């Protein structure tokens, strides 16, 4: 890996080094190696080391604008001063960076709400206790009654046939999704294929829900190094199977809980209203806040 100001392209061989750095901090989705690598379908993501901190250079998720960010807690004031020689702002900046600054008054620091990561307690998603989860319980119960002949399965590696079934789910999900751009669907399809390609080698777990023998939803999750956290990278379910995603979510949570995880990161909502409403409906236990930093 390069040393700042040089950057190197992100490759699969960087995983151990990146994991070694980010495992010291809360599991921010923007710095998750498999997320960065699998979404880097145009090979533009770059990384470097700056004073033992990890710096990333990636396209903005919605605009494609080149974006810089940093995670770490070493010599942060010095590190930001160096970073601001190549960019006029930083985004997706974790709390650890803010807490490490000795002179925060030199910067304008704003919360970036659209990129907060949603953190859930797996046990709550499994048991859905109390009034707080009444709506979710109702959706699970209603879907269970409507789709009574459903089955669930877990895969640590995927057969070619199962990959074809999941791709078919994604295509059907895409055609029934409002405001879905064709180019976005092509890109996300390539992303999903990359996750499938690396499932067996990199601690990815795929869960499936089927109705009457037909696969109608899948979820791709990763257990992180410390074993306490997981991250949900992709989850898709065919819209016409009403609320079937709630059953899949509950099942995936149970699988991860049984493997030792206690929390899951469902990543950010990007300011998309429908996605925000959906993620809030599952009652997050916490958010991983991120910031935009600009020198004053």
Domain 119-267 has what CATH class? alpha beta
Pick one of 3.40.50.920, 3.40.630.30, 3.50.50.60, 3.40.50.80 as the CATH number of 8-116.
3.40.630.30
Domain ranges of the chain: 8-116, 119-267
Question: Where would I find the H helices in 84-175?
Answer: 95-100, 122-127, 134-146, 160-175
Residue 73 and residue 242: Cα distance in Å, rounded? 45
Task: Give pLDDT tens digits for 232-282.
Answer: 999 999 999 999 999 999 999 999 999 999 999 999 999 999 999 999 999
Confirm whether 8-116 and 119-267 share one CATH topology. Answer: yes
pTM assigned to the model? 0.94
The whole-number pLDDT of residue 181 equals 60
Q: Are 288 and 116 in contact (CB under 8 A)?
A: yes
> For residue 183, what pLDDT is reported?
73
Share of the chain above pLDDT 70, in %: 98
């Amino acid at each position: 890996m390069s040393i700042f100001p040089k950057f190197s392209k992100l490759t699969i061989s960087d995983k151990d080094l990146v994991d070694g750095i980010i495992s010291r901090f809360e599991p921010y989705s923007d710095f998750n190696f498999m997320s960065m690598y699998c979404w880097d379908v145009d090979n533009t993501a770059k990384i470097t080391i700056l004073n033992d901190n990890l710096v990333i250079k990636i396209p903005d998720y919605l605009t494609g604008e080149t974006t810089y960010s940093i995670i770490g807690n070493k010599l942060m004031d010095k590190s930001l001063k160096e970073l601001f020689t190549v960019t006029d702002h930083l985004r997706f900046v974790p709390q650890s960076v803010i807490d490490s600054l000795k002179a925060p008054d030199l910067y304008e620091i704003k919360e970036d709400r659209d990129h907060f990561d949603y953190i859930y307690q797996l046990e709550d998603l499994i048991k859905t206790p109390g009034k707080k989860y009444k709506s979710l319980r109702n959706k699970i119960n209603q879907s269970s009654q409507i789709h009574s002949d459903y089955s669930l399965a877990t895969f640590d590696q995927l057969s070619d046939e199962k990959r074809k079934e999941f791709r078919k789910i994604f295509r059907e999900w895409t055609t029934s999704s409002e405001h879905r751009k064709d180019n976005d669907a092509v890109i996300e399809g390539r992303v999903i294929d990359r996750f499938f390609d690396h499932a067996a080698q990199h601690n990815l777990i795929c869960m499936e829900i089927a109705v009457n023998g037909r696969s109608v939803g899948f979820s791709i999750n990763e257990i992180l190094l410390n074993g306490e956290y997981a991250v949900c990278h992709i989850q898709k379910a065919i819209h016409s199977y009403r609320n079937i995603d709630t059953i899949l979510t509950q099942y995936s949570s149970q699988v991860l809980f049984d493997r030792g995880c206690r929390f899951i990161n469902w990543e950010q909502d990007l300011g998309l209203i429908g996605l925000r409403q959906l993620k809030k409906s599952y009652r997050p236990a916490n958010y991983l806040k991120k910031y935009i930093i600009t020198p004053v």
